[in-house]
Chain A
Amino acid sequence: EAQVTQNPRYLITVTGKKLTVTCSQNMNHEYMSWYRQDPGLGLRQIYYSMNVEVTDKGDVPEGYKVSRKEKRNFPLILESPSPNQTSLYFCASSPAGTGFGGATDTQYFGPGTRLTVL
């Protein structure tokens, strides 16, 4: 089954304790992206990756890191989480070469990770 998986689905942590949210897709998609969703703000793009070893900042990259060492995986790293990073996080992927590719193509979203930083 074609899907985007995220782990963990729920996480409660404390300020300053490094954490990683994993994202994996099995569709051989080139483009992957991370978003956070907050009430009243909608979704905001954190980072995106056009392909392996190619990443760039979205609208709200501060406090986050990403890496793309393999095509299927795109982990989101919070090196020193703070309470303002409490949010619902979504990973998404899309193919290149169909439509206009990247974010302008149909993105497949993961189920979300609800993070609480105390």
Chain B
Amino acid sequence: QQQVKQSPQSLIVQKGGIPIINCAYENTAFDYFPWYQQFPGKGPALLIAIRPDVSEKKEGRFTISFNKSAKQFSLHIMDSQPGDSATYFCAASIGRYKLSFGAGTTVTVRA
């Protein structure tokens, strides 16, 4: 049973567009929400993360929006570039050691 539900499965945007990936969870014990980026043939890499006491976090062109009451969080990629084409995973953690991932979203940015 997927503890973190992620959508869409894939999306295609033009360069400069803003892909948005959404994730939802049920377990209110989750206390840390990271996003990972994975390029083909590589392991995932931490992109950005947020804690539930914050509603928004920006790092460069990547922004996480967090809605605690709705138990949803999302990733926005501003001014997307072809180099952002990758698979993105949301995740959620309880405590420091266990991590549950969403199913992943493949983002394609067309030049």
Residues of A within 8 A of B (CB): 4, 31, 33, 35, 40-45, 48, 50, 56, 58-59, 90, 92, 100-104, 106-107, 109-112
Contact = CB atoms under 8 A, between A and B. Distances in A.
Contact of A48 (B6, B42, B97, B100): B97
Interface residues of B, number: 26
Contacts of B44: 43, 90, 109
A104 B45 contact: no
B101 A110 contact: no
A45 B100 contact: yes
Contacts of B9: 40
9 contacts: A4-B43, A33-B97, A42-B104, A45-B98, A56-B98, A58-B99, A102-B96, A104-B96, A112-B41
A110 B43 contact: yes
Nearest to B46: A106
Contacts of B2: 41-42
A37 B2 CA distance: 13
Given A41-B2, A43-B44, A45-B98, A103 B93 contact: yes
A103 B101 contact: no
